[in-house]
Amino acid sequence: MIIAIDGPAASGKGTIARQIAAVYGLHHLDTGLLYRAVAKAVLDAGHSPDDAQRATEAAVMLDPSKFEDNALKLQVITEAASVVAAIPQVRQALINYQREFATKPPGAVLDGRDIGTVIAPGADVKLFVVASPEVRAARRVRELRARGEVVEEADVLADLLRRDERDSRRTSAPLKAAPDAHLLDTTHLGIDAAFRAAVDIIEAVRAGRKRR
Ligand code: C5P
């Protein structure tokens, strides 16, 4: 079983994806880490994230063992990740790894922006997770402060909106719901309620498939 979970930043998709993978016994890939790792490699080497050639080289050379790096979640990497993610050759270089991951037995949950549309268009279940920008910014602030970063809520909201805009407007694999994705709005849902809502959707899709 392949489950595709897409949505904008801090919508709750990552937390839902992790919990769903644990409950269904599936592998989990946070695909944002791939773009973050590329961005970090480019910045560490002293180059600009919009340098398409350097970013593509970094994507081709990417070492998946770096995915657990805590530094990948820093705000400076977050911003640069959405810049490298808009470069078509960078996306192209990361497709095979994601597709191979998705087909690893017994199946996988992948979360990102283009899983249901580009990486796994044939996924068994597709969720598109959204929440209001204000709620997403508040969540992100809590997360960053817990990690010791000093941030202002207004700045985080502005960063988030700029990133949404960049992710949605790029020509290569923009952030958008697949036509067959199920919308899950977590604006008024806590972590547990959001997880239960996701399970309900998955179970309804599976039951529908069995009946046919
Ligand atoms: O999900 P996360 O916030 O970690 O992603 C960081 C950035 O990576 C996003 O803003 C987006 O630009 C990019 N990304 C993407 N496609 C994905 C996952 C992430 O373009 N599947």
**CATH code of 47's domain:** 3.40.50.300
Q: Is residue 212 part of a domain?
A: no
Q: Whose CA is nearest to atom 5 of ligand 1?
A: 32
Whether pLDDT at 211 is above 70? no
**Residue at 165 is within a domain:** yes
**Is residue 66 scored above 80 in pLDDT?**
no
pLDDT at 97 over 90: yes
Burial 77-100 (b: 16+ CB within 10 A, else e): bbebbbbbbbbeebbebbeebbee
Domain housing 190: 2-198
pLDDT at 212: 60
At position 106, the amino acid (one-letter code) is P
CA of 174 to the centre of ligand 1 (A): 10
Q: How many domains does the chain have?
A: 1
Question: What mean pLDDT do residues 38-66 have?
Answer: 93
Pocket test residue of 6, 15, 18, 31 for ligand 1, highest count of atoms within 8 A of CB? 31
Residue whose Cα lies nearest atom 16 of ligand 1: it is: 113
Minimum CA distance residue for ligand 1 atom 12: 82
| Range from 97-106, 142-151, 189-198 carrying the lowest mean pLDDT | 142-151
Q: Per-residue pLDDT averaged across 62-74, rounded? A: 79
Q: Is residue 66 part of a domain?
A: yes
Q: According to the model, what pLDDT value does residue 69 have? A: 74
Nearest alpha-carbon partner for 110 in 187, 8, 204, 16? 16
CB 85 within 8 A of CB 169: no
> Does 189 reside within a domain?
yes
Q: Tokens representing 73? A: 């979640």
Q: What's the confidence (pLDDT) of residue 74?
A: 85
Q: Is the pLDDT of residue 168 over 70?
A: yes
pLDDT the model gives residue 85:
97
What are the pocket residues of ligand 1 if the criterion is a CB atom closer than 6 Å to any ligand atom? Answer: 9, 31-32, 35-36, 78, 81-82, 85, 112-114, 163, 167
Closest ligand 1 atom to Cα of 10? 3
Asked if the model's pLDDT at residue 75 lies above 80, the reply is yes
**Mean of the per-residue pLDDT values for the chain?**
94
Give the residue, out of 42, 74, 78, 82, with the most ligand 1 atoms within 8 A of its beta carbon, to mutate for a pocket test: 82
Judge whether 208 lies within some domain. Answer: no
pLDDT in tens, 16-27: 999 999 999 999
Query: 165 CA to middle of ligand 1, Å?
Result: 12
186 domain-assigned: yes
Residue 32 lies in a domain: yes
Cα-Cα-Cα-Cα dihedral sign, residues 145, 77, 156, 167? negative
- Return the pLDDT at 113: 97
Per-residue model confidence (pLDDT) at position 64 = 74
Q: Whose CA is nearest to atom 10 of ligand 1?
A: 82
* Whole-number pLDDT of residue 199: 98
Residues 189-194 have a mean pLDDT of 96
pLDDT of amino acid 209 = 79
Whether 205 is in a domain gets the answer no
